[in-house]
Every structure is written in structure tokens, then in C-alpha cells.
Amino acid sequence: MKKRRKNSGPKSTKRAQEAKEHDEYLEHAREEFKKTYCTMPPFLGSLRTLKAMKVIGSGTFGTVQLAINEVSGEYVAIKIMTKEFLVRTGQVRHAHNELKISYALNFPFVLNTVQFHHDNSYLYFVMPFISGGDMFSHLRRQGQFSEDLARFYAAQVTLTLEYMHFLQLVHRDVKPENILIDERGYLKVMDFGFTKYFKGRGFTTVGTPEYMAPELFLSSGYSFSVDWWAMGVLIFEMCAGYTPFSDRYKARLHERIASGVYESPKTFSPSLEHLLRNLIQIDVTKRYGTLKNGASDIKNHRWFRAINWPDILHRRVKPLFVPEVLAPGDVSHFLPESQDLKLEISDVDKYREFFRDF
């Protein structure tokens, strides 16, 4: 019996050419990252041209404030971190690492730092203002996304993680709160506070509990695999409206994650269910994204069959959802903060030695 010849038709040739071009794209991106990572972002000598407006976000390590450049009229987002807090919690090195990485990254679906400033009391990371709000807020308003919309978003996250992993970077905190939607309907992955340059294995437990892969808290060591687990949780949440693992007690949450047992809604398509079983996979040696084909196992999965990857990368696909933005400085898609930020800048530079590299 003769063996069937492998498909070598026009479609196969086109896919091979697209794969080659994408590899070249990633190689070029890596060289650009290496060059930029060795430098610091442009230092903004003064904040006088930036008029502070509303607080649009806050977290453990900083507050994000909307501002307008009174010279250019451009709106920007400023992440403000307190030097005293960074010194007290031992986060100075992490802040420096975040600054360098967020400036050096250059990808269509990444929010990067464009300028930097610091005074006696604070660090200021200046970034473009993305007016569409974060995915978390939209997901809570809509309840859940259709599989088509979730697939469109997941494709962008897949390309972003593939790009970061090619640069030897692991994000370690992929979740809806760290993904913005721009005025065109495309994504911007942000917050690189937990991002790390990897050559071997990591053992530090970081991240958001519901999105953490089991190897993060089992002290077995981990690598890029943790991001693909988190993406599986993200896809599940986009389509279901809730995460596959949850519990008010951390110990029980860890037990549930370590078991890998969860129930999917009956509305999930078979192809989606199959993809999730291979991403939310407790056996790292079987998890998609970590096998010999890397991200290609995900990109070639049947759930993504309708995706044209070059068109997604170059933002040529018409988004299924576009946030309604009334004006350039519209903050209606951000959850309102309870109070405005009042900065108290010291006359004395008490932390000069800690921030010499900034």
C-alpha cells in the first residue's frame, strides 16, 4: 500500500513562507530588544508640562494617573511609585528591572514606557494612555465574551507571549486586569513588575493566585510554562465569566490548582475544551506552549483555525468589539477611584544611594 504524500500545495507553501517571515520578525525584534535594554528611557527633566488629572488605577506597587501634555495636547498615563515603599519592601531592583524591560519591549500588543522621571520621593513611568479600559472591567460588564471575541483576544496574547519568550522573558502575571483594550479594539498587555529574564529555572513564588500554575507554589522550579497555564485560565475566564479555580482560602485554592480538576460550562465548544485541557495541564511535559513545537502547537490548534496570524500581528483584522471613546482623555471605561492622588515631595533626597542606577 502506497503512503499518502504530505500536502505540498499552495496553502502549505504559504504557511511555510509565513512561518519563515515570522521567525525573521522575531529575530529582528530580539536584536532590537538587546540594543534598547542596555539603555534607559529618555529622562523627563521636569513634570511641569504634564498636568495631572484623574487617578485611573492603583495597585500594591503604584498608582496610575491620567495626565495631559500641555504643550502637545497628548494624553499620557503615569505610573507613580513611592521610593520609601520600594526601599522598605525590597522592591528597588524589581522597579529598575520593570523600567528597563517596559522601555525595551516593542510589540503591537504591549504597553511600553516611553519616558521616565524621578524626584526625592517618587518614580514616574510615562506611558501612552489607552482609553478603552482594561479587559477585567469589560468582562465584568458583559459577563462573558463570545468564543469568537475570546479567540481574537487570545490570538494577540499568544503572539505577545511567543514574542516575550523568544526574548527569554516570562511575564508571570497574565490576567484580565493587566490587559488594556485600545480605541481600535486591539489589546495592550501591561504591568511588567513580575517579568523576569530567564535562562534557567525560577523558584520565586509570584503572581495572582487564581492564575498561578501549580509549579509556581510547589517549589519544583518553573520557566515559561507558567505563562501558558495563565493563558489557559484567561481563555476559560473570557468564555465562562469566571476562573476555573477559586477559593477564599489560599491553601484550598492551591490544592484545587494542583489537582488540575475543574468543570467547564456546557456551552464550551469541543475544540475550546480540548485546547484548555492542554493549557491548564498540570504535567508541564505535556502542556501546550512548552513542547518541542513551542507556541506553534497553540497557533495550529483547531480552535484557532479561523485566525490569520499575520493579519492579527499587523492589526488588519476588524475587531468584533470596539470600546466607545467619546474624547481622547475619556476615562469612562476605567473603574472610578475613591480619591485623588496627593503627592508630598520631600526636600531631602534620603534614598539617593538606593536609586543610583535610575
Are the C-beta atoms of residues 136 and 176 closer than 8 Å to each other? yes
Mean pLDDT score, 57-76: 91
- Report the pLDDT averaged over residues 156-172: 98
Please identify which residue in the block is written with the cell numbers 509549579: 215
Calpha distance 130→179 (Å, rounded): 10
Task: Give me 328's grid cell.
Answer: 481622547
* 263 within 8 A of 169, measured Cβ to Cβ: no
- DSSP, collapsed to helix, strand or coil, labels residue 217 as helix
- Express each pLDDT in 176-231 by its tens digit: 999 999 999 999 999 999 999 888 888 889 999 999 999 999 888 999 999 999 99
% of the chain residues with pLDDT over 90: 84
Whose CA is closest to 116, among 36, 39, 45, 196?
45
Q: Residues in the chain, how many?
A: 358
R_g (Cα) of the chain, nearest Å: 21
> For position 339, what pLDDT does the model report?
63
Phi and psi of 331, rounded to 5°? Answer: -115, 20
Mean pLDDT (whole number) for 59-66:
88
Q: Measured between alpha carbons, how far is 20 from 28 in angstroms, rounded to an integer?
A: 12
Determine which helix (DSSP H) or strand (DSSP E) holds 143, and give its type and residue range. none
- pLDDT for the residue numbered 241: 97
Contact 121, 53 (CB under 8 A): no
Single pTM value for the model:
0.94
Mean pLDDT calculated for residue range 281-287: 96
Give residue 341's pLDDT: 79
> pLDDT at position 196, please?
92
DSSP letters for 152-167 = HHHHHHHHHHHHHHHT
Position 199 scores a pLDDT of 83
> Distance (Å, rounded) from C-alpha 238 to C-alpha 221?
28
CB 67 within 8 A of CB 162: no
Cα–Cα distance for residue pair 95/91, rounded to 1 Å: 6
More confident residue, 161 or 61: 161
3-state SS, 90-135, equals CCHHHHHHHHHHHHHCCCCCECCCCEEEECCCEEEEEEECCCCCEH
Name the DSSP class of 209.
G
For all residues of the chain together, what is the average pLDDT? Answer: 93
In tens, the pLDDT along 2-28 reads 455 555 567 778 888 888 999 999 999
Supply the DSSP symbol for 3.
Answer: P
Band (58; pLDDT cuts 50, 70, 90): confident
DSSP 79-93: EEEEHHHHHHTT-HH
Task: Consult the annotation and say whether 292 binds a ligand.
Answer: no
Question: All domains of the chain, ordered by start, with CATH?
Answer: 50-131+326-353 (3.30.200.20), 135-313 (1.10.510.10)
Strands (DSSP E) found in the chain: 50-58, 63-69, 75-82, 115-118, 122-128, 169-170, 179-181, 187-189, 196-197
Does the CA dihedral 234-235-241-245 come out positive or negative? negative
Nearest to 63 by CA among 33, 85, 94, 48: 85
List the one residue out of 182, 163, 138 whose CA is nearest residue 227: 163
Q: Would strands 115-118 and 63-69 be described as parallel, antiparallel, or unpaired? A: unpaired
Average pLDDT over residues 34-43: 92
* Alpha-carbon span 130 to 181, nearest angstrom: 7
Which neighbouring-strand residues pair with 196? 170
pLDDT digits (tens, 9 = 90+) for 110-154: 999 999 999 999 999 999 999 999 999 999 999 999 999 999 999
Q: Tell me the C-alpha distance between 75 and 42, whole Å.
A: 18
- Mean of the pLDDT values across residues 41-54? 90
Is the CB of residue 116 less than 8 Å from the CB of residue 100?
no
| Enzyme catalytic residues | 173
Give the tens place of pLDDT for each residue, 321-346. 999 999 999 999 987 765 677 889 99
What gap in Å lies between CA 346 and CA 343, rounded to an integer?
A: 10
More confident residue, 82 or 10: 82
- Dihedral of alpha carbons 343, 349, 352, 353, sign: negative
